[in-house]
Structure 1
């Protein structure tokens, strides 16, 4: 993957802009991350200060269960607490969480259309995170709100919840020389 300059950071209104960057954040997922940390702490506390007389097997199962549930909740929610979308002349790149993983890069040559979705909800996709539904396609949903919907050349769609998605759609359409339509996607 090539390194592209981060500047200029335009919203797509200027037809000479080189890069469009969009972000979305869901602060409510910090509550789930805190619950995961609490489960993890409970597992550690059980392992350190337990005096169960009923045997090692129940204690071991409790500790492993709490630690596993805590790690899953903690890292599963932190991975999707925010999303960053970067569009340049070649590709759209999506990075999730603070570490940028999972990551997806879609070449603009594979995109045949881009639409603005005014309301994308986690309920439509079965929750937060990186989602796939056979009848809808693939999505990165970090919060409820506006989104960008790409139609790919192979017939699939890719949806991303991102702030100022309409500007991202305009930017992609300018790059692909697609007509600017007022139609919105049915997310």
Structure 2
């Protein structure tokens, strides 16, 4: 699942500002998206080719149910097939899916610690996607694996599953002159 080595890149020519870019993808979610498309197609098929002999209410409920389930599965999974993380000198920006939504921008001045989490799983957060748990904070989980954990000045945490998260943590610590904690974060 490693798509991109998250080494810092220099933005433009002649500038000294480095930018770290990381990405993570989950190809398994394409299967769920295909199932959503199948449900959507079934709903359309029922609406178009039904003889309407069994009454309108059962058929209408079937069509609406298949179309709604299909749209939820299709768009819900496509929104979290991948995550892109971009860290520059000012902020960390997270964009999900192909459209970049939902999007979150965290100013580095709000970050008090950055830690590497060697194993973040969807099970820890209650599934894939943009997650919030009162005892853990907020997370963007698109796959199982390494992650970047930010501790913010207001006491909250923000976790992102991203390839080469360790390089991202080093990049943030270098920008903020944060010391290494010496142990992985518990995500």
Against the structure 1 CA distance between its residues 94 and 179, is the aligned structure 2 distance closer, same or farther, given a 3 Å change threshold? same
Against the structure 1 CA distance between its residues 10 and 116, is the aligned structure 2 distance closer, same or farther, given a 3 Å change threshold? closer
1:164 matched residue in structure 2: 164
2:66 matched residue in structure 1: 66
Secondary structure class of the residue paired with 2:98: coil
- 1:16-52 CA-partner distances (Å, limit 9, x unpaired): 6510000000000000000000000000000000113
Shift of 1:10: 6.5
Matched, 1:93 2:93: yes
Q: Is contact 2:25-2:142 (8 Å) kept?
A: yes
If the length of structure 1 is used for normalisation, what is the TM-score?
A: 0.92
Secondary structure class of the residue paired with 2:18: coil
- 1:81-126 CA-partner distances (Å, limit 9, x unpaired): 0000000000000000000000000000110000000000000000
Q: Is contact 1:146-1:164 (8 Å) kept?
A: yes
2:113 matched residue in structure 1: 113
Work out the CA distance in 2 between the residues paired with 1:135 and 1:173.
Answer: 25
2:24 matched residue in structure 1: 24
- How large is the RMSD of aligned CA atoms in angstroms? 1.6
Shift of 1:138: 0.2
- Segments of 5+ residues of structure 1 without an aligned counterpart are 1-8
Work out the CA distance in 2 between the residues paired with 1:98 and 1:74.
Answer: 13
Work out the CA distance in 1 between the residues paired with 2:92 and 2:152.
Answer: 12
Work out the CA distance in 2 between the residues paired with 1:62 and 1:10.
Answer: 47
Shift of 1:183: 1.2
If the length of structure 2 is used for normalisation, what is the TM-score?
A: 0.92
1:5 matched residue in structure 2: none
Structure 1 segments of 4+ aligned residues over 6 angstroms from their partners: none
Aligned to 2:7, which of 8, 11, 26?
Answer: 11
Matched, 1:173 2:173: yes
**Which aligned pairs between 1:36-75 and structure 2 lie closer than 5 A?**
36-75=36-75
- Segments of 5+ residues of structure 2 without an aligned counterpart are 11-15
Work out the CA distance in 1 between the residues paired with 2:17 and 2:124.
Answer: 33
